[in-house]
Structure 1
Amino acid sequence: MPKEYGRSERVSSQMQKELAYVLQREIEDPRLGFVTVNEVVVSKDLAVAKIYVTVLNADEEGKKLNIVALNELAPVIRHEVAKRMRLRHISEFRFYYDYSFDTGMRVDELLKGEDDEN
């Protein structure tokens, strides 16, 4: 019988917490805006971590620049997270923008617009 909550899910959860802390307190880069870590998906072998983030108060160009900056800083961020986690090997970090928040806001605007018409 497989475990309901496997190791990769536990590592993902802990990594999300540590990433949020490191991005907020440890990384000081003027290129980065207010970055929120929405989800971390770690591969089954723990080799790669896909990190989905949003950036508040940023236009489309700003979002792209933040993702580029995060991917450039990935080795530094990875090192800081590794110091905080008790793992023999830490995953390779790959940052992606999470458009689900933007999509939700757009749907909300459309629904509010529909209510105004009725």
Structure 2
Amino acid sequence: MAREFFRADRVADAMRRELAQVIQKEVRDPRLGMVNINDVEVSRDLASAKVFVTFVGEDDPAKIKASMDVLSRAAGFLRSHLAKAIQMRTIPRLQFRYDETSVRGQQLSALIDKAVESDRSHHSSDDGDDKE
């Protein structure tokens, strides 16, 4: 059976696309670098939306916090742009959240690579002992 698409899902998708463009083109704060909108979760009553973001090439927690502050302060501005772009009676309140999933994924990938390399070097040293 085909998956049902709820209105909240369609609104979230439209908001994600529009926010990515508006943040890139309209938010002019030097503290804000390149922003990726990973996901938008809109409540079923369309009253609020959680916007999950990451910052390209940014690892410093102080800079991440500053960028999150910029986005939080720009929420009203962004919401007004969404109101112009998306035809809805009311636009959900925006709550920006830092999305750590990509960072955690990179850390786990690095740990896996390290374990695989360690395993290879361990097996290669075992093979050398068997040949003697």
TM-score by length of 1: 0.93
Q: Which has the higher contact order (CA 8 A, sep 6+)?
A: 1
> Quick check: 1:42 aligned with 2:38?
no
Aligned residues of 2:38 and 2:53 also touching (Cα < 8 A): yes
For 1:110, the aligned partner's letter is L
Partner of 2:24: 24
For 1:81, the aligned partner's letter is L
Q: What percent identity do the matched residue pairs reach?
A: 36
Partner of 1:15: 15
Partner of 1:98: 99
> Quick check: 1:107 aligned with 2:108?
yes
Distance (whole Å) between structure 2 residues aligned to residue 32 and residue 80 of structure 1: 18
> Quick check: 1:73 aligned with 2:74?
yes
Q: SS of 1:40's equivalent?
A: strand
Q: SS of 1:78's equivalent?
A: helix
What are the ranges of 5 or more consecutive residues in structure 2 without an aligned counterpart? 120-132
For 1:40, the aligned partner's letter is V
Question: Aligned-pair distance for 1:32?
Answer: 0.7
Distance (whole Å) between structure 2 residues aligned to residue 70 and residue 26 of structure 1: 12
Q: How many residues align?
A: 116
TM-score by length of 2: 0.84
Cα deviation, 1:41-77, whole Å, max 9, x if unaligned, reads 0011111010000011221211111111100111011
Segments of 4+ moved more than 2 angstroms = none
Question: Aligned-pair distance for 1:31?
Answer: 1.6
Question: Aligned-pair distance for 1:25?
Answer: 1.2
Q: SS of 1:90's equivalent?
A: coil
Select the structure of larger CA radius of gyration.
Answer: 2
Aligned residues of 2:71 and 2:96 also touching (Cα < 8 A): yes
For 1:71, the aligned partner's letter is S
Distance (whole Å) between structure 2 residues aligned to residue 31 and residue 80 of structure 1: 21
